[in-house]
Amino acid sequence: DQQVKQNSPSLSVQEGRISILNCDYTNSMFDYFLWYKKYPAEGPTFLISISSIKDKNEDGRFTVFLNKSAKHLSLHIVPSQPGDSAVYFCAASVYVDDKIIFGKGTRLHILP
Amino acid sequence: DAGVIQSPRHEVTEMGQEVTLRCKPISGHNSLFWYRQTMMRGLELLIYFNNNVPIDDSGMPEDRFSAKMPNASFSTLKIQPSEPRDSAVYFCASSSPGEQFFGPGTRLTVL
């Protein structure tokens, strides 16, 4: 039973446009949410996080939105750049220093 | 800091052989995690340690898998005997509060 779900295995977006990656979760105890980015032959790297007391966190081109009532979060990248092409993992934990549960990932292709 | 170090980066072995994957976490990090990535299941948590003590090994698939952390700077994940379905990329990660840092992974192929 997947507690963190990324229902889109892949997504293609034109360079310069907005990329929106979605994630749903089932465990209402999750209190901390993260996005990781992964390039081929490398380990995932931390991108941005949000705690449940917020509904939005922004870092440069990256914004994460959290809708607790819907158990849904999304990552917005604007404007999208070629270097954003990667696999993006949504993740969640019950508290900030707990084990992190990952989704299966969404492969983002930025088209020239 | 060199980050999380994993060895070997690639391992090809035959079914039935023992495989040992190694990890050196970032100095000062108290938690260490072992993950397995496959196309079908994504990134699965196998086991994690806090202060060298195994906290949760519920993700370890079966008794053929074992993990140890004899000290704060070293951990191993052992598979014995290995099977073709164990073929995957295995990641080690260590954490400071709020963020996990991943190693480059070990790509394991069991023939």
Asked whether the beta carbons of A69 and A45 are under 8 A apart, the reply is no
User: Average of pLDDT values for B92-104?
Assistant: 88
- Min Cα distance A35 → chain B (Å) is 10
**Could you please report the per-residue DSSP string of A24-48?**
EE--TT--EEEEEEE-TTS--EEEE
Confidence label for B99 from pLDDT (cuts 50, 70 and 90): confident
pLDDT score recorded for residue A99: 83
Q: List B59's β-bridge partners, or say none.
A: none
Contact B48 A45 (CB under 8 A): no
User: Measured between beta carbons, which residues in chain B are less than 8 angstroms from residue A9?
Assistant: none
Contact yes or no for B90/B35 (Cβ under 8 A) = yes
Residue B91's SS3 state is strand
Helix (H) or strand (E) holding B66: strand B65-71
User: Is the per-residue pLDDT at B97 higher than 80?
Assistant: no
* A18 reaches B (C-beta below 8 A): no
A105 interfacial to chain B (CB closer than 8 Å):
yes
Predicted confidence (pLDDT) at residue B22 exceeds the cutoff of 90: yes
For chain B, report the end-to-end CA distance as a whole number of angstroms: 36
Closest listed residue to residue B2, CA positions, set B104, B72, B71: B104
CB contact under 8 Å between A97 and B104, yes or no, is no
Q: Is A44 in Cβ contact with B43 (below 8 Å)? A: yes
- Overall residue count recorded for chain B in this entry: 111
Give which of A25, A34, A38, A99 to mutate to test B binding, by max B Cβ within 10 Å: A99
The pLDDT value recorded for residue A98 is 74
Give the pLDDT score at A97: 65
How far is A72 from chain B, CA to nearest CA, in Å? 19
SS3 state of residue B80: coil
DSSP letter assigned to residue A83: G
Burial track B59-97 (b if 16+ CB lie within 10 A, e otherwise): bbeeeebebebeebeebebebeebeeebbbbbbbbbbee
Q: What is the mean pLDDT of each run of 10 residues along chain A (112 residues)?
A: 90 97 95 94 93 95 97 97 97 82 94 94
Q: Smallest Cβ distance to B42: which of A49, A100, A105? A: A105
pLDDT score at A95: 76
How far off is chain B from A48, nearest CA to CA, in Å?
A: 9
Strands (DSSP E) found in B9-56: 10-13, 19-24, 31-38, 42-50, 53-56
Whether B61 shows a pLDDT value over 70: the answer reads yes
- Per-residue pLDDT at B105: 96
Rounded distance between C-alpha atoms, residue B19 and residue A79, angstroms: 44
